[in-house]
Chains A and B, each alone.
Chain A
C-alpha cells in the first residue's frame, strides 16, 4: 500500500519552492502578464503575421522531420553495431559492442542546443546545422534503445537457427528482426514528438524556424503576434501526437509506459507503405529547406584560442556552478514528477478540470523553457527557483500526458470497484489506477531527471548561476578553453546522472 504514496513523494519539493516563492515575487510586471494572457484569446490575425508564422512553422516541422529521420537511420545502424548479441553471433565476442556503447554516451550527454551552437561555429549559418544538431544526440539515444531492446530479446530462436546451420546474418534477421520492430517503431514515434520540441527550441536560440519568431516577438513584447505562433504550433503538436497515438494503436505497438506489449503489428503492408512514403517526403523537405549534405564537409576554422591559457578556465567558480546545476535539476524533476499525479488527483472529481489540465500540459510541452523563463522574469526574480519552475513546467507537460495515457490504458475495473464500494473519486483514482503504475512511472521519472540535467543549459538565460548560464556567457565571449572545460564537466555530470538514474530505475522495476 506504500506504492501510491511513493508516487506522491517527489511532490514534497513543492514545500521549499512554496516557501521561497513569496520572497521572489517583486511586485512589478503584472501589467505585462495580464497583457500576455489577454493576447491568448485575441492573437494577431494580420495576414502578414500569419504568413510569417506559417512559414516559420513549416521550417521548424521540416527541421524536426529531417533531424528525426537522420537520427533513426543513424541510431538503427549504431544500435545494431553496439548490440552484444549481434557481435557475439557474428564475431564470437561482445567487446566491440561494449566499447561502442561507452563511446556513444558522449554525444548523448550533450544537449542538442549545445550541438547546435557548436556546429554553427564550424559550419556557419545554414539549415543543415539544426538538422545535424538534432540527429547526433537523438541518434545516440536511439542507438542505445535499439541495442538494449535487441540484447533483451530471448535468444533461443537464434540459437536454434544457428544450430540448424543457418548463416549468422540470416539467422539474426529472421530470429530478432520481427520482435524488435514494434519497440523500435513505438519509440521512433515518440522521438518525432521530441524532435518537434527540439527544433522549436533550437529556433529560440537563432537556428531558424518558428522558435526564432517566438523569441523575437516575446522580446519585443508583441504578445498578440506571439500567440499566433503559439496556437499554430499547438495545433501541429496535438495533430502529431494524435496521429502517432493512432498509428501506434492501429499497428498494435506497445504504449510507452505500457505493462503489456502487443505482438507483431498486423498491418505489415501499411507499415511498409508508410516507410516508402517517408523517403520521398524527407527528400522533398530537404530540398525545400535547402539542406545540403555536402555543405557539411565545408568546415570553417575556429576563431583563435584566447590568451590567458587554461588557468582562466580553472578559475571559474566550479563548486557553485555544479551545485546550482544539481539543485536546479532536483527541483525541476521533483516538480514535474510529483505534480503530475497530484494535479490529476486534485481535479479527479471534475471532468472539465481534467480537460483544463490537459490543455495546460499541452502548453507546457509546447513552450520552450527559455520562453517560460523570460515570462516568469516579468514577476519573479532571476535565480535557481525561477529556472526550476520553467524547466519543471515543460517536463510536467510531458510526464503528465504520459501518466494520463498509462492510467487510461490500465483499465477502469479496480477504480470502479473502489468507487462503488464508497471510496471518493480521488482515493479511487489513487488506489484503483495509480498504485499499479507507481513503480513504472517513477522509473520513467528517474529517466526524466536525467534528461532535465541535460536540459538545464536551456534556461541559462534566467541567470540561475549554474553551468548553463556560464556556458551561454562563455559562448558570447568566444572563450573556447572555458567552453571546452564547461562541456567536459557537463558531460561528466550527465554520465554520472545517467548511471544513477539507471540504477534507480532498475531497483524500482525489479521490486515491482
Chain B
C-alpha cells in the first residue's frame, strides 16, 4: 500500500534543485554537462515569492537572449542559503543585498561585483509603525529612542535595509535590541512580512527597505490608516549583482564583461526590459565598485554579522 502511494506520487517528483557533480545515472549524466553551459542565477528572497517568481524568470530570459547561453533561475529560501550556495559554486550570478554581498565576497575571493541599480548607491530604510501604536514621525535619529519598550521587528536576519542599517541607526539613538518589549526584536523574514505584521498590530514598529515600502503604498497593500512611515534613514550602499570568478573560463573569454554589459544595457524603451526594471523599482543599472561597500562591511563587523 505504501509502495502504491509512493509510485502514485512519483510522476510529480520533478527535479527542482540543480544537480551538482557528475554521476552514474542517465538522468545525472544528462545534467553533467549542463553546469558548464548553464548560467544559474538567483537572488536573496527579500520579497514575496510570487514577485520573485515573476521577476527572475524574466531576467533569465532576457540574459539568455542577449548572451546566447541557457540561463536558469534557482530560487533559494533564505539569505544565508544564498551566500552558501554562491560559495559552494551552485549559483553563478546572484542579486545580493549589501551585507550578504560582502559576506559572499569574503567567502569567495575573486568574486566580481557587476552592477547595482541607480537607487542602490544611496539606498534608504524606512522605520514604520502601526497607526494605532501612538508612535509619531520623527525628524532625527535620536527620535528612535521612543521605540524602547515597544514590540519591534526586523526583516531577515541578514538583510541590509531590514536589519543591519536599522540596527546601526537604532544603536546611534542608544536603543539596543534588548530594550524592545519581549527583550528581543523579531525577524519577520522579508520586507512584505514586516509591513503586514506591523499593519496587523502584531508588532508596534519595524524597519523596511524604502523601495518595497513605496511599492506597497503604490499597489495599496500598505494602507495609511493601518501603518505609517515614521523616519527615513540617511543613504547607504545596498543591493548588487555578484558573479563567480570563473565565468570567463567556463563560458569563454570576455563573458563576465558581456554579462555586465547586458545588465547595464537594459532601458525602459524596450518592453521586456521595462518590465524587469519596473519590478526592480529602478530606471536602469549602473556599474558598482566593491570598495563602496566598506561602510557596510564595517557596520557588519560592528553588529557581529561579519567576523
* Chain A residues engaging chain B, CB cutoff 8 angstroms: 26-29, 31-32, 51, 54-55, 57-59, 61-62, 65, 120-121, 123-127, 192, 205-206, 208, 212, 215-217, 219-222, 236, 239-240, 243-244, 246-247, 274, 277-278, 281, 284-285, 287-290, 292-295, 297-298, 300, 303-304, 306-308, 312, 377-379, 381-383, 461, 463, 465, 472-473, 475-479
CA distance A216 to B78 in the complex (A): 10
The answer to whether A292 and B16 have CB atoms under 8 Å apart is no
* Among candidates B84, B190, B201, residue contacting A31 with C-beta atoms closer than 8 Å: B201
Contact A476 B107 (CB under 8 A): no
B31 CB contacts on chain A under 8 angstroms: 290
Majority SS of interface residues in chain A? Answer: helix
17 example contacts (A-B, Cβ-Cβ < 8 A) are as follows A54-B9, A55-B12, A65-B6, A123-B20, A124-B85, A125-B81, A208-B16, A219-B193, A222-B48, A243-B1, A243-B2, A246-B1, A281-B7, A290-B15, A292-B23, A295-B20, A475-B80
B77 touching A381 by the CB < 8 A rule?
Answer: no
- A-B CB proximity, top 3 nearest: A28-B201, A124-B88, A306-B307
Indicate the member of B76, B84, B89 with the most A CB atoms within 10 Å: B84
Q: Looking at the assembled complex, report how far the CB atom of B57 sits from the nearest CB atom of chain A, in whole angstroms.
A: 14
Q: Tell me, in angstroms, the Cα distance from A378 to B23 when the chains sit together.
A: 46
By size class, the interface of chain B is 35 or more
CB distance from A332 to the nearest CB of B (A): 19
Q: Contacts A125-B76, A312-B307: A274 and B3 contacting too (C-beta < 8 A)? A: yes
Residue-wise, chain B 277-306 has the 8 Å CB interface mask toward A (1 for contact) of 000000000000000000000000000111
If A32-B200, A243-B5, A285-B10 touch, whether A300 touches B87 (CB-CB below 8 Å) is yes
Return B249 CB to nearest CB of chain A, in Å. 18
| Given A59-B16, A278-B3, A477-B306, also A29-B81 (CB < 8 A) | no
Bound CA–CA A295/B28 (angstroms) = 10
Which B residue sits closest to A379, measured CB to CB?
Answer: B202
Chain B residues in contact with chain A, CB under 8 A? 1-3, 5-7, 9-10, 12-25, 27-28, 31, 45, 48-50, 74, 76-81, 83-85, 87-91, 103, 106-107, 130, 151, 157-158, 181-190, 192-193, 196-197, 200-204, 304-307
Chain A residues within 8 Å of B78, by CB: 205-206
Judge whether B77 and A287 touch: CB under 8 Å: no
Nearest-CB distance from B173 to chain A (Å)?
21
A292–B10 touching, CB < 8 Å: no
What is the CB-to-nearest-CB distance from A276 to chain B, in angstroms, rounded to a whole number? Answer: 10
B residues in contact with A124, CB < 8 Å = 20, 84-85, 88-90
Q: Closest approach, in angstroms, between the C-beta of A502 and any C-beta of chain B?
A: 32
Q: Given A206-B77, A274-B3, A288-B15, 5 more contacts at CB 8 Å? A: A205-B77, A290-B31, A292-B25, A382-B183, A463-B182
Contact of B19 among A65, A292, A297 (CB under 8 A): A292
* Residue contact B158 to A55, C-beta cutoff 8 Å: no
Known A-B contacts A473-B157, A476-B158; A125 and B5 likewise in contact (beta carbons under 8 Å): no
Distance (Å) between the CB of B225 and the closest chain A CB?
Answer: 14
Contact of B17 among A121, A125, A377 (CB under 8 A): A125
CB neighbours of B28 from chain A (8 A): 290, 292
Q: How many angstroms between the C-alpha atoms of A287 and B196 in the bound complex? A: 41
Residue of A whose beta carbon sits closest to that of B3: A277
**A125 and B85 within 8 A (CB):** yes
Are A285 and B90 interface neighbours, CB within 8 A? no
Most A CB within 10 A of own CB, among B13, B15, B130: B13
Q: A125-B85, A220-B49, A465-B184 are in contact. Are A477 and B5 (CB under 8 A)?
A: no
Known: A32-B202, A377-B186, A476-B79. Is A298-B21 also a contact (CB below 8 A)? Answer: yes
**Known contacts A55-B14, A216-B49, A300-B87: A381-B151 contact under CB 8 Å:** yes
Contacts of A295 in B (CB 8 A): 19-21, 23
Contact B3 A281 (CB under 8 A): yes
Collect the chain A residues with CB atoms within 8 Å of residue B16's CB.
55, 59, 208
Which single residue of chain B is at the shortest CB-CB distance from A31?
A: B200
Q: How far is the CB of B175 from chain A (nearest CB, A)?
A: 16
Which of chain B's residues has its CB closest to A120's CB?
A: B84
Bound complex: CA A424 to CA B98 (Å): 66
| Interchain CA distance A478-B301 in the complex, whole Å | 12
In the bound complex, do residue A281 and residue B80 qualify as a contact, i.e. CB atoms below 8 Å apart?
Answer: no
- Specify which chain A residues have a CB less than 8 angstroms from the CB of B50 in the assembled complex: 220
> How far, in whole Å, are A303 and B79 apart by their CA atoms in the complex?
16
Q: How far is the CA of A298 from the CA of B45 in the complex (A)?
A: 27
With A124-B89, A306-B307, A477-B305 as given contacts, are A240 and B2 in contact (CB-CB < 8 Å)? yes
- Of all chain A residues, the one with the shortest Cβ separation from B184 is A463
A54 to B5, alpha carbons, bound, how many Å? Answer: 13
Which listed residue (A57, A208, A478) contacts B83, Cβ 8 A? Answer: A478
Q: Taking CB as reference atom, which chain A residue is nearest B85?
A: A125
**What residues of A have a CB within 8 angstroms of the CB of B81 in the complex?**
120, 125, 206
* B89 engages A378 (CB within 8 Å): no
Task: State how many angstroms separate the Cβ of A20 from the closest Cβ of chain B.
Answer: 12
| Residue from B76, B89, B204 within 8 A of A206 (CB atoms) | B76
Smallest CB separation, A214 vs chain B (Å): 11
Q: Does the CB pair B184–A300 fall under 8 Å?
A: no
Q: Which residue of A lies closest to B196 (CB)?
A: A221
Q: How far is the CA of A287 from the CA of B30 in the complex (A)?
A: 12
Would A219 and B79 count as touching, CB distance under 8 A? no
- Residue from B24, B77, B103, B187 within 8 A of A215 (CB atoms): B77
Instruction: Find chain B residues with CB under 8 A from A293 CB.
Output: 23
**A57-B9, A240-B2, A278-B3 known; A28 vs B157 contact (CB < 8 Å):** no
Contacts of B87 in A (CB 8 A): 300, 303
Chain A residues positioned under 8 Å from B21 (CB to CB):
292, 294-295, 297-298
User: Which of chain B's residues has its CB closest to A55's CB?
Assistant: B12
The CA of A478 and the CA of B87, in the complex, are separated in Å by: 12
Give Cα distance in the complex from A477 to B306, angstroms. 6
Query: Which of chain B's residues has its CB closest to A244's CB?
Result: B2
Contact indicator A292/B20 (Cβ below 8 Å): yes
- Are B202 and A29 touching (Cβ within 8 A)? yes
Bound CA–CA A31/B6 (angstroms)? 39
